[in-house]
């Protein structure tokens, strides 16, 4: 079902003298200077860091609360030759976090074991069974990555088993923190770290950075295959253990980009520096698993954040969604091309199955919405079914949130219990809304825009009613109308390949640094628009020299608005170079349109 809605246009008001200065100083198009201004980059120093900042601008990792304690404990494990268990989440952020930490610790001579929870059996976060398995494998130190901040009881259980625990997470903490050796999370209220929006993989990378700074103070084992080198320690079997930790640290930046983009972390400040460097590394990655996965995804050129978000990450995520995230970790850890090819093929098949199931759930959810939800007065969507695959409900919730632009909850029911997946819009704090419904929930966690919870079905009607009341109190009709922030009004004659090239200086685009949107006014169509694949609109717009092609995805239902070719219209769009059969042409990616003067 395709529903396109006209959006509210919000026009930015950049300061012309400042934009003129930035355009001249940094040799960018005036429209690009306006985008910089709109992103809050108004001083020479800020723009210089944004455009040209490198990894030497990373913050001091020891500014993070408990980082010193965490590093000291890991280095104790190096000296004592302890086995370390790494317990992660089943999504891309968690998998890349596990890979980075495992590879880096192996380079220090530490033997690691991994536990990736089965999404369909264990659910999100730590479980006592998973912790017990880690302890049974001989681990004496447990490090959680991309999870653990809310696992108060489970961390206490691990402590009772005799495990030291380090929590490395990035999710919002509850008022009470886990009682363990160290809790590193930039969202801790008492954490002075200057940037709190790192992904889980970013927190792990900062831990590795901190370990690097302390390495001269510890004598690490240095076994090599075929004999014993200076120092004591277990024989090394992983190739990572043969790499110098500093070289490995640089190479692992590709995983940081992958996990950060996949987790929709804002691409500003430190995240921008990490992702930009990681994308460069990812283009020529030495990771065999990623090489095979890129081949499956047909990503054989420079890698963009878009490639991660819509090609690479969905295939890795599909493994966890379908219940076997361990295979995705095996792919990232693989050092054999044949095995990597086999696992990448498994990822592709999992992704196809996920897409098929997703379409079925989406159709059923939209049918339920049509029957039960008053879209005129309702401020949220809450639907449930016993037939919905728990691993796919999050994607469907995201799609429904985008289509209907309101907080969305999808519950998969199994017996008397249901697992809920929730997604939100920027105008509504989802986690706070769930906190106000905590009396009905068995447990919940997440952040402002995405969360999950468990609920007994006897509490579901009361929870649904209360959540509907909360969203009705907090959201107006304007709040649930999709919006477009327009960076600049541009004469259509200025739109050129040179403008697109200038815009590329602002990449990578993603959360908090979206693709710039421009508006051109008083346009005319050269001919009647056509419908492509039954869903999309293709237009030819009169230009000063030649017609410009524009594509409006999922807007075929608005064809009637463009019937009158003599009537001028205004267009909101992203200019881009479209590649087809090796030929690049200028194209406008349409975000919205309306009659001129509207």
Selection from 427, 371, 377, 434 nearest residue 401 by Cα:
427
The CATH number given to 8-12+485-595 is: 2.40.50.460
Q: What is the pLDDT averaged over residues 106-112?
A: 95
Q: Is the CB of residue 289 less than 8 Å from the CB of residue 343?
A: yes
229 pLDDT band (50/70/90 cuts)? very low
Say which residues have a Cβ less than 8 Å from residue 582's Cβ, sequence separation at least 6.
none
- Using DSSP's 3-state secondary structure scheme, residue 483 falls into strand
What pLDDT was estimated at residue 242?
55
Count the Cβ atoms, other than its own, within 10 Å of residue 595: 12
Domain-wise residue ranges, the chain? 8-12+485-595, 61-250, 373-474
Q: What is the pLDDT averaged over residues 452-470?
A: 96
347-395: pLDDT as tens digits: 999 999 999 999 999 999 999 999 998 888 899 999 999 989 988 999 9
518-528: pLDDT as tens digits: 999 999 999 99
120 pLDDT band (50/70/90 cuts)? low
Mean pLDDT over the full length of the chain: 91
301 pLDDT band (50/70/90 cuts)? confident
Please report the DSSP string for 31-91 in residue order: HHHHHHHHTT--SHHHHHHHHH--GGGPPPGGGSTTHHHHHHHHHHHHHHT-EEEEEE-SS
Confidence check: pLDDT of 215 > 50: yes
Q: What is the pLDDT averaged over residues 553-568?
A: 92
**Interatomic CA distance for residues 158 and 135, integer angstroms:** 8
Counting DSSP H helices and E strands in the chain, the numbers are 20, 19
The CATH number given to 61-250 is: 3.90.1640.30
How far does Cα 525 stand from its chain's mean position?
37
Q: What is the pLDDT averaged over residues 224-242?
A: 38
Q: Which of 199-213, 222-236, 437-451 has the lowest mean pLDDT?
A: 222-236
225 pLDDT band (50/70/90 cuts)? very low
What pLDDT was estimated at residue 166?
98
**Interatomic CA distance for residues 563 and 593, integer angstroms:** 13
Q: Is the CB of residue 512 less than 8 Å from the CB of residue 40?
A: no
Whether cis (ω within 30° of 0) applies to the bond prior to 337 is: no
**Interatomic CA distance for residues 287 and 335, integer angstroms:** 8
Query: Which residue is associated with the tokens 């194209």?
Result: 587
Q: What is the pLDDT averaged over residues 576-596?
A: 91
Domain formed by 373-474, architecture: Roll (3.10)
Provide Rg for the chain, Cα atoms. 25
């Amino acid at each position: 079902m395709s529903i396109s809605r006209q959006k509210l246009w919000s026009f930015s008001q950049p300061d012309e003298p400042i934009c003129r200065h930035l355009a001249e100083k940094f040799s960018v198009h005036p429209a690009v200077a306006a985008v910089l201004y709109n992103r809050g980059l108004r001083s020479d120093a800020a723009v210089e860091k944004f455009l040209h900042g490198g990894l030497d601008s990373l913050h001091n990792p020891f500014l993070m609360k408990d980082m010193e304690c965490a590093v000291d404990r890991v280095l104790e494990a190096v000296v004592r030759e302890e086995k370390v268990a790494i317990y992660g989440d089943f999504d891309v952020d968690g998998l890349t976090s596990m890979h980075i930490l495992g590879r880096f610790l192996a380079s220090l001579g530490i033997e690691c074991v991994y536990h990736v929870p089965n999404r369909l059996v264990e659910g999100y976060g730590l479980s006592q069974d998973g912790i017990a398995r880690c302890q049974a494998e001989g681990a004496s130190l447990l490090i959680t990555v991309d999870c653990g901040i809310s696992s108060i009881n489970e961390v206490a259980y691990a402590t009772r088993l005799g495990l030291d625990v380090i929590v490395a997470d990035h999710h919002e903490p509850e008022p009470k923190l886990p009682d363990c050796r160290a809790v590193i999370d930039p969202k801790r209220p008492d954490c002075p770290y200057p940037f709190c929006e790192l992904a889980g993989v970013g927190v792990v990378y900062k831990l590795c950075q901190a370990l690097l700074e302390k390495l001269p103070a510890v004598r690490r084992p240095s076994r090599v295959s075929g004999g014993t080198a200076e120092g004591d320690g277990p024989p090394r079997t992983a190739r990572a253990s043969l790499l110098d930790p500093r070289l490995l640290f640089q190479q692992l930046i590709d995983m940081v980009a992958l996990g950060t983009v996949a987790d929709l972390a804002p691409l500003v400040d430190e995240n921008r520096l990490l992702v930009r460097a990681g994308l460069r590394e990812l283009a020529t990655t030495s990771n065999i698993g990623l090489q095979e996965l890129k081949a499956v995804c047909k990503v054989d050129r420079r890698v963009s954040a878009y490639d991660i978000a819509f090609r690479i990450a969905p295939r890795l995520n599909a493994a966890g969604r379908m219940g076997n995230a361990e295979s995705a970790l095996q792919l990232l850890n693989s050092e054999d091309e044949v095995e990597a090819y086999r696992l990448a093929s498994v990822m592709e098949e999992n992704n196809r199955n996920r897409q098929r199931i997703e379409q079925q759930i989406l159709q059923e959810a939209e049918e339920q919405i049509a029957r039960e939800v008053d879209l005129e007065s309702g401020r949220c969507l809450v639907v449930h079914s016993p037939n919905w695959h728990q691993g796919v409900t999050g994607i469907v919730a995201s799609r429904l949130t985008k289509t209907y632009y309101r907080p969305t909850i999808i519950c998969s029911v199994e017996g008397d219990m249901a697992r809920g997946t929730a997604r939100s819009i920027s105008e509504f704090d989802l986690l706070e809304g769930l906190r106000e419904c905590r009396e009905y929930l068995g447990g919940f966690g997440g952040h402002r825009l995405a969360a999950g919870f468990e609920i007994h079905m006897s509490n579901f009607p009361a929870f649904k009613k209360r959540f509907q009341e909360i969203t009705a109190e907090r959201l107006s009709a304007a709040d649930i109308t999709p919006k477009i922030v327009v960076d600049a009004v541009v004469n259509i004659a200025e739109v050129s390949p040179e403008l697109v090239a200038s815009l590329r200086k602002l990449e990578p685009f993603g959360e908090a640094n979206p693709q710039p949107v421009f508006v051109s006014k008083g346009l005319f169509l050269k001919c009647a628009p056509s419908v492509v694949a039954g869903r999309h609109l293709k237009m030819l717009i009169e230009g000063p020299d030649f017609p410009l092609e524009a594509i409006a995805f999922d807007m075929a239902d608005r064809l009637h608005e463009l019937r009158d070719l003599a009537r001028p219209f205004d267009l909101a769009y992203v200019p881009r170079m479209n590649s087809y059969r090796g030929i690049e042409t200028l194209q406008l990616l349409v975000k919205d349109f309306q009659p001129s003067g509207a």
